[in-house]
Amino acid sequence: MSDYTSLVVKRRFLLASIVVIGLAGVVSACASNESRDRYRFDVVNQPVPVGAHSTITVRLTDATTGRPVDGATISDARLTMTMPSTIPPGKVIWPDRSHSDEVRFVGSSGDGQYRLAGDVSMPGTWTLVLSASVPGEASPVEGSTRFVAARERSDP
C-alpha cells in the first residue's frame, strides 16, 4: 500500500469516527429532552399561602398518558421569584432581582402528589424548579411550574 493510500484510509477512518461520536451525542441529547418533555409538574393547592413553612403540593403527571406518576423521589427543589424592579429618580438598582430558596420534601400522598415545604415570603407569582427520580427513567426528570402565592384573609 502506498503512503498516499494509507493516508486516505486513515483520514476516512478518522472522519467516520467523528461522525459516529457526533451522532451518539445527538441521540443522547434527544433522549434526555424526551424524558424532560414526557413529565409535567403542577402545583395543585393554589393560591399557596404566604408563610415561612408553606406547604406546596405538586402533582407529577406523565404528559403522554395524562396519568399521575407514583413512586417518584423528589431529589431537588428550589423556589424562585423574580421581583419587579422600580427605579426611583436618582437611584441605581439592578434591573433584574430574584429571590431563591431551597424547598424540602415532606412526603407523598399518592395519586402522583408530593408535598413540599418552603419559605414563600411574599405574595406574587413564584417558580418551583424540581428534579425527581422516576421509576423506569435512567436519569432524573427536571421541570418547573409556576404558582401564585397570597396572604390568607382574616376578615372578622
Reported as a single tens digit per residue, the pLDDT across 15-62 is 666 655 655 555 555 444 455 589 999 999 899 999 999 999 999 999
**Which of 140, 144, 116, 119 lies closest to 130, judged by CA?**
144
Domain borders along the chain are 39-150
Alpha-carbon separation of residue 28 from 41, 77, 97 (angstroms): 23, 25, 35
CATH of the structural domain 39-150, one choice from 2.60.40, 3.30.530, 2.40.50, 2.60.120:
2.60.40
**Which of 64, 72, 52 lies closest to 113, judged by CA?**
72
pTM: 0.68
Alpha-carbon separation of residue 27 from 9, 21, 102 (angstroms): 27, 10, 33
Please report which confidence band the pLDDT of residue 89 belongs to, taking 50, 70 and 90 as the band edges.
low
Q: Looking at residue 145, what is its pLDDT?
A: 96
The strand pair at 48-49 and 141-150 is best described as parallel
Ordered alpha helix ranges (H), 39-125: none
